[in-house]
Amino acid sequence: VEEVLKGKVLEPEVVRQASLLAVEGAVDHGANHYKIELAPRVVARAILKMGETA
């Protein structure tokens, strides 16, 4: 994820790519499938929030 973001402007497509990469390979164990769907949105928000303070 860091490599995708390094040196780039936090544009929507860059943030989207990084957030999807963060959950790449995640395995659904039945009861947690919603977390895999939710995680990219949470990661994207965190990236954008960190970008505000940088």
Give the C-alpha separation, 41 to 27, whole Å. 17
**Minimal CA–CA distance to 5: which of 39, 44, 53?**
44
The tens digit of pLDDT for each residue in 13-53 reads 999 999 999 999 999 998 989 999 999 999 999 999 988 88
pTM, two decimals, is: 0.82
User: In this structure, are residues 32 and 15 in contact, taking their beta carbons and an 8 Å threshold?
Assistant: no
Query: In Å, how far are 13, 26, 28, 33 from 10, measured between CA atoms?
Result: 8, 24, 29, 28
| Residue 11, both tokens | 């544009």
User: In this structure, are residues 43 and 26 in contact, taking their beta carbons and an 8 Å threshold?
Assistant: no
